[in-house]
Amino acid sequence: MLSHERVWAAIDALAARYSMSASGLAKRAGLDSTAFNKSKRRSADGRPRWPSTESLAKVMQATGASLDEFLELVEDRHPALAPASSNGRRAVPLLGFAQAGAGGFFDDSGFPAGQGWDLVELPSSGDEGSYALQVQGDSMLPLYRDGDVLVVAPSATLRRGDRVVVKTRGGEVMAKLLERQTARSIELISLNPAHPNRELALAEVEWVARIVWASQ
Closest CA to 21 of 30, 31, 12: 12
pLDDT tens readout for residues 169-193: 999 999 999 999 999 999 999 999 9
Which of residues 81, 107, 126 is at a domain's end? 81
- Indicate the pLDDT class of residue 196, thresholds 50, 70 and 90: very high
59 domain-assigned: yes
We report the CATH number of the domain holding residue 144 as 2.10.109.10
Beta strands in the chain (DSSP E): 91-96, 118-121, 131-134, 149-153, 163-168, 173-181, 185-190, 198-201, 205-214
Does residue 108 sit in the same domain as residue 204? yes
For residue 179, what are the domain limits? 92-214
**Cα 71 to chain center, whole Å?**
24
Instruction: Identify whether residues 193 and 101 lie together within a single domain.
Output: yes
86, part of any domain? no
Confirm whether pTM is higher than 0.75.
no
| pLDDT tens by residue, 128-150 | 678 889 998 888 888 889 999 99
- CB burial of 75-89 (b: ≥16 within 10 Å; e: otherwise) equals eeeeeebbbbeeeee
Cα–Cα distance measured from residue 205 to residue 199, given in angstroms and rounded to the nearest whole number = 11
Residue 87 lies in a domain: no
Same domain, 159 and 186: yes
